[in-house]
Amino acid sequence: MSTPAKHSAYLAHHFSDSIQQSDSAKLGMWIFLLTEILLFGGLFVAYAIYRAWNPDMFYNAHKYLDVTLGALNTVVLITSSLTMALSIRCMQLGNRKRTMHLLLVTLILAGVFLIVKYFEYSHKIHLGQLPGKYYTFTGIEGNNPHIFFSIYFMMTGLHGIHVLAGMGVIGWILKRTSRGDFSPEYYTPIELTGLYWHLVDMIWIFLFPLLYLIG
Amino acid sequence: MNSEAKSHYHILPLRTYITVAGALMVLTVVTVAVSFVNLGGWNAVTAVFIAAVKASLVALFFMHLKYDKKINAVVFLMAILFLAIFLSFTFFDILSRGDIYSEVEKSIKGKAVIYDTMPFDSKSAGHDDSLTVENNEP
């Protein structure tokens, strides 16, 4: 610390050292995640209002969601969070190859999540369980079952867009890792991608019981 | 142990990550199992509680909040706090609407009674006067 830090390629001149730089980046990422939580928060509040008003309709409508596929996707996302966290650990230990393998596994698991989601969505589209005025299904008792599916599609849809965006970022980070951009001294972009990916996982952790497991 | 490692940050042992992931899997099984038991109104509470435990594990270990600068945890808790305010104030509204409607109904009736038994001629009283009378009522 007493000697002036060597001006590395990755250290921006307005930071005193790389620790300060990485701490600032992480704080910025957390503030972004705060806005993400509040973005989803609006949908969670909409869910709470309509479930409080239509408890029986929510119960009847949720039976048309496949618990097995929902649980499978939960396991897939938790595993992808684990591989994401481990890829960062491997970069901390300087194992670039391992980092790349684990990022690739994370990317594949994100793809598996979306494929499962695709089968769930196409089944619902086939049955006509669509949001709002596009709802044509007649098999659910209770008032306005289309409200449940509006909320289901908006919440899982916004989450799905986040998974898609996450795949884009993970792919980009994978490319940068293979290019040799990162080292145990500098891996902030992988770490921030990890934070984002864990948040996507965390939101699904709430969506799964709230949508699929209404008791 | 990792004195040779060049990374500035605390490197968690592999076992921590595996244990946390294992706990998340177990809690997923628990939340599915519990959903098939009828707990009356407590099903939703239990589901959200288990999800909150899982989210905390993700935040503390996968997202390193336990080891990071505390400011990051403060930012995260702020998001949760404001979401909680958003939710709870919405519930103050939607869970008490029935009461408010019956309350309104009652007070309208009450006012009508007061109006009928007012000591002076109601025809001469304008809107402002009726307001004053209402205020003096108790």
Interface list for B 97-136 with A (CB within 8 A)? none
Please state the ipTM of this predicted complex. 0.91
Task: Compute the average pLDDT of residues A68-97.
Answer: 96
Decide if domain A35-212 falls under CATH 2.40.100.20: no
Query: Same structural domain for residues B103 and B80?
Result: no
Domain containing residue B108: 98-136
pLDDT at A144: 86
**Mind listing the pLDDT tens digit for each residue in B68-106?**
999 999 999 999 999 999 999 999 988 887 766 665 555
Give pLDDT, residue A7.
Answer: 55
Q: Both B86 and B124 in a single domain? A: no
Tokens of B4: 């040779």
Q: Which two tokens stand for residue B22?
A: 């294992």
Q: What are phi and psi of B121, to 5 degrees?
A: -65, 120
- Inside any domain, residue B22: yes
CB-based contact B48:A209 (threshold 8 Å): yes
Distance of alpha carbon B34 from alpha carbon A94, whole angstroms: 43
pLDDT value of position A207: 97
The backbone torsions φ and ψ at residue B64, rounded to the nearest 5 degrees and listed phi first, read: 60, 20
Choose the weakest-confidence range: A17-26, A36-45, A125-134, B126-135: B126-135
Cβ–Cβ under 8 Å, residues A52 and B98 = no
Q: Exposure of A88 by Cβ count < 10 A (0-12 exposed, 13-18 middle, 19+ buried)?
A: buried
Chain A CB contacts of B23 under 8 Å are: none
Question: Residue A35: which of A188, A167, A193, A199 has the closest Cα?
Answer: A199
Q: Are residues B33 and B89 in the same domain?
A: yes
* DSSP structural state of residue B85: H
For residues A133 and B23, which has the higher predicted lDDT (pLDDT)?
B23
Domain match, B77 and B108 both: no
* Average pLDDT score, chain A: 93
Q: In chain A, which among 59-88 make CB contacts under 8 A with chain B?
A: 67, 71, 74-75, 78-79, 81-82, 84-86
The residues with which A186 forms a beta bridge, in sequence order, are A183
Closest by Cβ to A48, choosing from B7, B72, B87: B87
First to last CA, chain A: 58
pTM (2 d.p.): 0.84
**A202 pLDDT exceeds 70?**
yes
What is the pLDDT averaged over residues A65-72? 96
- The answer to whether residue B3 is domain-embedded is no
pLDDT tens-digit readout, A142-179: 888 999 999 999 999 999 999 999 999 999 999 999 99
- Give the model's pLDDT for residue A43: 97
Looking at residue A201, its amino acid is D
Query: Residue B31 has what pLDDT?
Result: 95
Q: How far apart are CA A92 and CA A94, in angstroms?
A: 5
Q: Are residues B92 and B103 in the same domain?
A: no
Distance from CA of A136 to the nearest CA of B (A): 28
> What pLDDT shows up at residue A123?
95
Q: Is B9 among the domain residues?
A: no
**A115 in contact with B, Cβ within 8 Å:** no
pLDDT the model gives residue B109: 54
Do B63 and B9 meet the contact criterion of CB atoms below 8 Å apart?
no
* Residues near A199 by beta carbon (within 8 Å), at least 6 away in sequence: A33, A36, A37, B63
- Domain assignment of residue B5, yes or no: no
Residue B129 lies in a domain: yes
- List the domain boundaries for chain A: 35-212
Residue ranges in chain B modelled with pLDDT below 70: 1-9, 99-138
CA A160 to chain centre: 8
Sign of the alpha-carbon torsion through A154, B50, A76, A179: positive
Nearest-5° angle of CA B92, CA B93, CA B95?
75
Q: Looking at residue B106, what is its pLDDT?
A: 58
pLDDT in tens, A107-117: 999 999 999 99
Check whether A188 has a pLDDT greater than 70.
yes
Cα(A140)–Cα(B23) distance, rounded to whole angstroms?
Answer: 36
- Which stretch of DSSP H or E encloses residue A81? helix A67-92
Instruction: Report the pLDDT value the prediction gives residue B134, as an integer from 0 to 100.
Output: 46
